[in-house]
Amino acid sequence: CYQPQDTKLHAFISAALFGDAVSACVMRADDQAPGFKIANTGSYFLPDSEHYIKYDVKDSGFHFTLDKAVMNSIKDVAPMMEELNYETFNQHCAQNDFFIFHTGGRKILDELVRQRDLEPVRVGQSRVSVSEARN
């Protein structure tokens, strides 16, 4: 993703965050093992948000664009988070035991806590991750 001629800060951030990313998840088919269980999955596309995070594909590769408005989008998606949670668990987000958020930073995590009126302790592992490993 790195483009040497692209001197914009968000291009540098993109290369630093996404250019070397890797993840893994080990899943088991039985319910006997301890650990997380995926009860449901869902996704939501925020209308008119295409400009928040995008890549322009050019002959030289991918060019990243990040709109700072993405930092303020949590208030728009928080109601859908609540709806998806209620449909799956029949309870409000604030009643969940814990959350694991991949927010990319402290400000968005703070906004999630504020918008869903979560107890700060319930996002503790996400805060540790942001503090120790950043994104």
Helix (H) or strand (E) holding 113: helix 106-115
Average pLDDT over residues 98-120: 84
pLDDT value at 90 more than 90:
yes
- pLDDT tens readout for residues 16-26: 665 545 555 66
Q: What is the pTM of this model?
A: 0.66
Domain assignment present for residue 73? The answer is: yes
Domain assignment present for residue 2? The answer is: no
- The tally of domains found in the chain comes to 1
Q: 67 lies in which domain range? A: 9-133
The domain spanning residue 115 has which CATH number? 3.40.47.10
Amino acid sitting at position 110: D
Domain assignment present for residue 4? The answer is: no
- pLDDT tens readout for residues 20-73: 455 556 666 677 877 777 777 778 889 998 888 888 888 888 787 888 888 888
Query: What is the distance between the alpha carbons of residues 61 and 59, in angstroms, rounded to a whole number?
Result: 6
Domain assignment present for residue 86? The answer is: yes
Work out the number of other CB atoms within 10 angstroms of the CB of residue 123.
22
